[in-house]
Structure 1
């Protein structure tokens, strides 16, 4: 059985809005007609997609799986529509950007603001996640452009370095290693570590470094956000590797202390990633050109 895209669009609208009435308004269909269409769709699939609640609709487990697919499908459709609308003029259009945590939090906001001052008619959406999520989103055409700080493991992606940064090993001022003038990698064996989540390019780099140094991690607490990780480090949660761009003030005011172990520092590249062979609308080229001629390298 081939899935009916009209039915899928109705399902997606209900999943996104959480109610029949709101979905009916979104797809311009009456509520009774939309309910019939949904019932027919569930019958064709042989599964129940929603739990009918007194106030709204809740996805069942099959519904959650289908929603993951529909979200990706309609994100690609939106990107395709934007590309067709915008490929004549850099002064208009839509940029859909994915960025890993450090670049998306500390680098791109300023650059996006600068770009918008020159091209105010260009709409920009920015997703911030980990390197794996961003690379997959570029490959799937959900993002027209990606910015990452770690190794790429997704096929069909081309990367170009645009800046560099250092991952700084830090601890809170009261940490036992904070007062040391000299230490070795073995001194961190068994100590608690603060890390990004699996799929993070930062975590992959740190894990490989520890392997090379034969250093043994203690307990690990995972964070999906660099700022949350930094706050945990400041409050004595353990050893963390944080982007140099994010800890300048914290090192100056003494709330964080750099570990005196030079071999634990990691230099890494920030890269622009695109889908190999993909057509780039003028707005994308203008944004990339601005980054390549900006002073980002001297501030990161």
Structure 2
């Protein structure tokens, strides 16, 4: 109830969500404050705000709730009274192009484990992991948060692609500086792929000279725009294999410019884990 009051910012809202009366919520908060010997909330002009000790308690309280939920689910799964469900979050490229095949192979070994999938950009997946909405995050960009356990499980090459009939297709390779002669099509700014590409281009002193034609929210949208000759794109090889095979897009080699990026499995540092999470981790790292 303490967490609910914090998240809703109101005792009345917390009471409605918990299907109890406001006095009942107030009583529970008072009991918690008496237990810790301190006030957990301050009232400022009628608004309820966390005290300093309340701010200290909140992350502990969230972890207690997460462990309580995990312990219940773990026992129910062991007893066969609950399905084994693994909650996985993946960044867009991994979720759309890599994860389906991985899950297919994994389920041949573990047919009793089901998946609940979330797909979005890297910051969103890390936020969901932090808030215990998912068990594992599979992302393109590395996280620098020390609360997470990070392991590389795959990698992929980023390549320059154009429409199949683009003039660059008649050459064996181009110089990276020639990117300034073409309009570039990008993923959104928060994309792990874009951050990696921009950092590499910055190291070659060409990023500031490149004209951004447009920003699009998915790889498929970028591929369609490049196919329509609206510009060029630097995309993961994983995402354009079919288009290259069937001559829809063309790969343009760049002299002395080779860009690889890693895929990371990120988990919370937990003492106890679901059986399904341990099995999937072993599968990815095997």
The TM-score normalised by the length of structure 2 is: 0.71
Please give the alpha-carbon distance, in whole angstroms, between the structure 2 residues aligned to 1:253 and 1:118.
Answer: 33
Query: Are the structure 2 counterparts of residues 283 and 106 from structure 1 closer, same or farther at C-alpha, using a change threshold of 3 Å?
Result: same
Counterpart pick for 2:283 among 279, 286, 290: 290
Please give the alpha-carbon distance, in whole angstroms, between the structure 1 residues aligned to 2:119 and 2:282.
Answer: 21
Q: What are the within-5 Å matches in structure 2 for residues 91-130 of structure 1?
A: 92-130=83-121
Residue 194 (structure 1) aligned with residue 185 (structure 2) = yes
- Give the SS at the match of 2:105: helix
The structure having more radius of gyration, on CA atoms, is 2
Q: CA deviation at 1:252?
A: 2.6
Aligned residue in 1 for 2:268: 275
For the 8 Å contact 1:96–1:142, the answer to whether it is kept is: yes
**Per-residue CA shift, 1:56-115, capped at 9, x if unaligned?**
xxxxxxxxxxxxxxxxxx9x9799635521256498422111101121111111222333
Aligned residue in 2 for 1:166: 157
Q: What are the within-5 Å matches in structure 2 for residues 26-175 of structure 1?
A: 81=69, 84-86=72-74, 89=78, 92-175=83-166
For the 8 Å contact 1:147–1:272, the answer to whether it is kept is: yes
Q: CA deviation at 1:219?
A: 2.0
Q: CA deviation at 1:274?
A: 0.6
Query: Are the structure 2 counterparts of residues 155 and 176 from structure 1 closer, same or farther at C-alpha, using a change threshold of 3 Å?
Result: farther
- Give the SS at the match of 1:162: strand
Please give the alpha-carbon distance, in whole angstroms, between the structure 1 residues aligned to 2:185 and 2:271.
Answer: 38
Aligned residue in 1 for 2:16: 7
Question: How many pairs align?
Answer: 233
Query: Are the structure 2 counterparts of residues 79 and 180 from structure 1 closer, same or farther at C-alpha, using a change threshold of 3 Å?
Result: farther
For the 8 Å contact 2:179–2:210, the answer to whether it is kept is: yes
Q: CA deviation at 1:155?
A: 4.5
Q: CA deviation at 1:265?
A: 3.4
For the 8 Å contact 2:187–2:215, the answer to whether it is kept is: yes
Please give the alpha-carbon distance, in whole angstroms, between the structure 2 residues aligned to 1:90 and 1:283.
Answer: 14
Please give the alpha-carbon distance, in whole angstroms, between the structure 1 residues aligned to 2:222 and 2:279.
Answer: 34
Query: Are the structure 2 counterparts of residues 244 and 78 from structure 1 closer, same or farther at C-alpha, using a change threshold of 3 Å?
Result: same
Unaligned runs of 5+ in 1: 11-43, 47-73, 294-300
Please give the alpha-carbon distance, in whole angstroms, between the structure 2 residues aligned to 1:78 and 1:186.
Answer: 51
Please give the alpha-carbon distance, in whole angstroms, between the structure 2 residues aligned to 1:193 and 1:79.
Answer: 47
The TM-score normalised by the length of structure 1 is: 0.68
Please give the alpha-carbon distance, in whole angstroms, between the structure 2 residues aligned to 1:119 and 1:252.
Answer: 33
Aligned residue in 1 for 2:167: 176
Q: CA deviation at 1:179?
A: 2.2
Unaligned runs of 5+ in 2: 20-45, 49-61
For the 8 Å contact 2:173–2:255, the answer to whether it is kept is: no
Residue 229 (structure 1) aligned with residue 238 (structure 2) = no
Q: CA deviation at 1:153?
A: 4.3
Q: CA deviation at 1:122?
A: 2.9
Q: CA deviation at 1:276?
A: 2.4
